[in-house]
Every structure is written in structure tokens, then in C-alpha cells.
């Protein structure tokens, strides 16, 4: 996919379980979320897990459109974080390089894991997702972000993101690396230090960011897009403004892997007994 404009939507590009795709020299702007590749599938959906995209030489900017407002001309069917350039929501071995991320008021790029148990689907709703095993954690591994320019337009104008890179640091995830990225000042990240993988390992140890994921997908499972439960549905203040001078990163208590998976299994109206009994048994040493 090359030389396209994706704008005015919930997501400018959506590639659910889209693997080995080359996305280059495109513009993604004026969306809630500029770009999503993810594993949020319906029963029987092919291609799990997503892997192997090359995303390079694109502009992800000004993705601050809020379709969750009452007067929005579109009616969103999914929860997306307003003010975000790109996310990889459960994917492996993707490369994000040589792009410009700027003027995204919440975040430039996000990466987080999606446990298999939240994807596989109960068999009574249709065929299960091929390749999905509710006892495993298949995503997100070996994603590399490098050579990107953060908070600066191609013209050289400074247009900061709220935060440049955001990672959930899901426990046991390995091989995710951020290196040689540039900004007008310091590249801003959450957590505050991300693995560069140059002579050191990258292992997810858990972070408070996981609570945000549970809260936001839980808001959808509970019905509607409740901005009181999830910050994604509120337009962030512009970075550098009087109300947006600080990093727009809420603080939560950390979650264990078990707590994260148990909570995440309620996503999209699916029930814990249907989806999570197998994975719960694994996490509890054989006791469901």
C-alpha cells in the first residue's frame, strides 16, 4: 500500500490479521487512530497471529478526530484511542521505521499484547480462530521501532505528540526494541525507559499501562464508550497548551499477568467461563 491518504475515519488504516504487508509513503491524518494492525477477530477469522508488516516512510499526524462525541458524523463500532498515530494490538515481527509521527495529542505509537484467550472465541458462536490456543500468549514479540522522527513534521516544524512511544510491557513478551529514533528534544516514552535491544535483552515485566487496556476494553464490554472509565474517548489537550503541558499518562497500579488475562477475557461481551477456564488453569498450576 503506497501513496495513499487515510483520513476522516475511526482508523485511517485497519489490517486485522494482515501479515507481510508493506505500507510506505502514505499519509494518515485526522482520524481517531491513524493506523491499526491487530488481532481483534471474529470467530473463524484467518491469519492469526498477525506478523511481518514493514511500515516505513509514512506520515502519521494530527490524528485527533473524536468520533465518540454526540455530534460525530460517524458512529464508531470499536474502541480506539483518540489522538494516536499508530498501534500494534497483538502482532509479531513488525518493523516500524523512517516514519514521521507528529501532532498526535495522546501518543505517537502504541504496542501491546493480546492474550490468545481473548481472541479464540467460544466454539458455540462459530468455528474457532485457526492457530489460536487459549492456553498460550502468542502476541506481541520481536517488533522493532527505529529511525522514526517524533514530534517534528517533514518541514522541520515542531509539533509534539503527547507521548511518542507507549508499551504495555506484557509479562514474558520478548524481542521488542526501540532505538535510533529522534525528536526535537527527548523522545518521550511510557514506561520511561524502553529496551533498545543493543547488547541487552528485551523482556516484558509488566507495567501499569496494562490497567488502561483492561479499563478501556472493559468500558466497551459494559456497553457504550464510557469516558469516565476510559480516557481514550476524550480528546486529549494539545501538547504544549496550558492544559497539555504534562505527559498525558494516567497512573495505575501494576497488574500481574494472571490479573491482566482474567480481566481481558471479558472483552467484547465474551464471558470468562467460556474463554478463560483453560488459560486460568495454566496460570494457576492446573487448577481452573
In a domain, 225, yes or no: yes
User: 109-113, 156-160, 237-241, 244-248: which has the minimum mean pLDDT?
Assistant: 244-248
User: Average pLDDT in the 229-246 region?
Assistant: 79
Report d(CA 248, CA 228) in Å as an integer. Answer: 16
* pLDDT tops 80 at residue 53: yes
User: Angle at which helices 257-264 and 209-221 pack, to 10 degrees?
Assistant: 20
What is the pLDDT of the chain when averaged over all its residues? 84
CA distances from 218 to 31, 75, 79, 176 (A): 23, 19, 10, 26
Q: Which three cell numbers stand for residue 65?
A: 478526530
Nearest-angstrom CA–CA distance, 268 and 163: 27
Tell me how far CA of residue 132 lies from CA of 48, 128, 163, 171, in angstroms. Answer: 7, 8, 32, 19
Q: Give the domain extent around 203.
A: 5-283
Among 96-105, 248-257, 276-285, where is mean pLDDT lowest? 276-285
Output the pLDDT for position 275: 40
Alpha carbon distance 131, 47 (integer Å): 8
The domain total for the chain is 1
Region of poorest pLDDT, from 104-113, 190-199, 257-266: 257-266
Residue with cell 525507559: 193
27, part of any domain: yes
Q: How much is the pLDDT for 208? A: 85
Tell me the Cα Rg of the chain.
18
Residue 270 located in a structural domain: yes
Asked if residue 124 belongs to a domain, the reply is yes
pTM across the whole model: 0.85
- Give domain status of residue 288, yes or no: no
CA angle 268, 115, 11 (to 5 degrees): 55
pLDDT digits (tens, 9 = 90+) for 162-192: 999 999 999 889 999 999 999 999 999 999 9
Tens of pLDDT, residue by residue over 6-22, are 999 999 999 999 999 99
CA atoms of 225 and 112, how far apart (whole Å): 20
Question: Is 238 contained in some domain?
Answer: yes
Question: Looking at the domain assignment, is residue 228 inside a domain?
Answer: yes
User: According to DSSP H, which parts of the chain are helical?
Assistant: 209-221, 257-264, 272-283
Is residue 148 in a domain? yes
Name which of 133-137, 175-179, 201-205 the model is least confident about: 133-137
Amino acid at each position: 500500500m503506497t501513496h495513499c491518504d487515510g483520513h476522516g475515519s475511526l482508523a485511517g488504516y485497519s489490517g486485522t490479521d494482515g501479515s507481510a504487508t508493506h505500507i510506505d509513503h502514505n499519509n494518515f491524518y485526522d482520524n481517531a487512530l491513524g493506523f491499526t494492525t491487530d488481532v481483534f477477530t471474529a470467530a473463524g477469522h484467518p491469519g492469526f497471529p498477525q506478523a511481518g508488516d514493514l511500515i516505513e516512510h509514512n506520515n502519521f499526524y494530527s490524528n485527533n478526530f473524536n468520533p465518540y462525541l454526540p455530534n460525530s458524523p460517524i458512529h464508531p463500532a470499536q474502541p480506539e484511542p483518540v489522538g494516536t498515530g499508530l498501534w500494534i494490538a497483538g502482532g509479531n515481527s513488525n518493523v516500524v521505521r523512517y516514519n514521521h509521527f507528529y501532532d498526535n495529542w495522546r501518543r505517537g505509537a502504541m504496542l501491546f499484547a493480546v492474550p490468545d484467550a481473548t481472541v479464540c472465541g467460544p466454539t458455540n458462536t462459530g468455528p474457532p480462530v485457526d492457530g489460536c490456543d487459549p492456553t498460550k500468549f502468542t502476541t506481541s514479540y520481536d517488533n522493532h521501532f527505529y529511525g522514526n522522527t517524533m514530534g517534528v513534521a517533514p518541514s522541520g516544524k515542531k509539533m509534539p505528540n503527547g507521548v511518542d512511544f507507549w508499551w504495555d510491557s506484557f509479562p514474558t513478551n520478548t524481542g521488542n526494541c526501540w532505538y535510533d529514533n529522534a525528536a526535537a528534544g527527548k523522545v518521550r516514552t511510557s514506561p520511561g525507559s524502553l529496551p533498545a535491544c543493543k547488547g541487552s535483552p528485551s523482556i516484558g515485566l509488566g507495567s501499569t499501562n496494562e490497567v488502561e487496556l483492561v479499563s478501556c476494553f472493559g468500558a466497551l464490554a459494559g456497553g457504550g464508550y464510557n469516558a469516565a472509565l476510559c480516557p481514550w474517548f476524550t480528546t486529549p489537550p494539545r501538547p504544549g497548551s496550558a492544559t497539555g503541558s504534562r505527559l498525558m499518562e494516567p497512573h495505575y497500579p501494576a497488574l500481574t499477568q494472571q490479573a491482566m488475562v482474567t480481566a481481558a477475557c471479558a472483552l467484547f461481551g465474551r464471558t470468562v467461563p467460556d474463554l478463560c477456564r483453560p488459560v486460568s488453569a495454566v496460570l494457576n498450576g492446573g487448577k481452573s
